[in-house]
Amino acid sequence: MREIVLDTETTGFEPAEGHRIVEIGAVELFNHMPTGRTYHQYINPQRDMPTEAFEVHGLAEDFLRGFPPFTQIADAFLTFVADARLVIHNAAFDMKFLNAELKWAGRPLLAADIAIDTLAIARRRFPGSPASLDALCRRFGVDNSAREKHGALLDSEILAEVYLELIGGRQPDFALTVTTASGPMPQAQAWRPPARPRALPPRLTEAELSAHAAFVEGLGDGAIWRARQAG
């Protein structure tokens, strides 16, 4: 199962008010294991950067002018995502922006049901407790010391660790669980080879057996080999 843990940074809260995505970061998981593949892209929003947004992510208007607009990176982004599920903290926010950008770029939209919302998972697991990404890092002991400001790739890497804890711990089954018609097999049975129906035939030649017998004979009566054979 392929999943993409994803985060975006934007110029504001509502694409309907003209706000745009300025950064996308994503981390690939396969069977809940990081593959090492990532996607990271700064984006020119082709508009000003409000002070409130700059204070969150630190991406200045002058810096972003050197990067392509979303229309030029849309195809590369969709190729990376492909048919994966998207793991997002507060998925409604990022999906709203991604689909607005895709619509403006004339590209197909992302289906709402491909998103897994870690915020919703956290609220179900820990009702009444803080469910921000920083709060979940504290709960699970995930190191977020490098998170001085929001950054899409760093936040997606941190979220990947938090997500694995939310669903049962890092590297939950090492892909050893085998599903059968009657349900998942225990992990210990999933990798243990079954007994052979017939023993393998001996591979020693007569000459090798004779040479071994002569060697043991020359060791004397006190040889450990003789004691092991007698046992």
Q: Which residue out of 40, 57, 150, 212 is catalytically annotated?
A: 150
Backbone angles phi, psi at 179, to 5 degrees: -90, 130
The sign of the dihedral angle between the CA atoms of 213, 219, 221, 227 is negative
Is residue 120 within 8 Å of residue 95, measured between CB atoms? Answer: no
Backbone angles phi, psi at 181, to 5 degrees: -60, -25
Is residue 75 within 8 Å of residue 107, measured between CB atoms? Answer: yes
Instruction: Kindly state the tokens that stand for 52.
Output: 């409130």
Is there a catalytic annotation at residue 150?
yes
Is residue 184 within 8 Å of residue 54, measured between CB atoms? Answer: no
Q: Which residues are catalytic?
A: 150
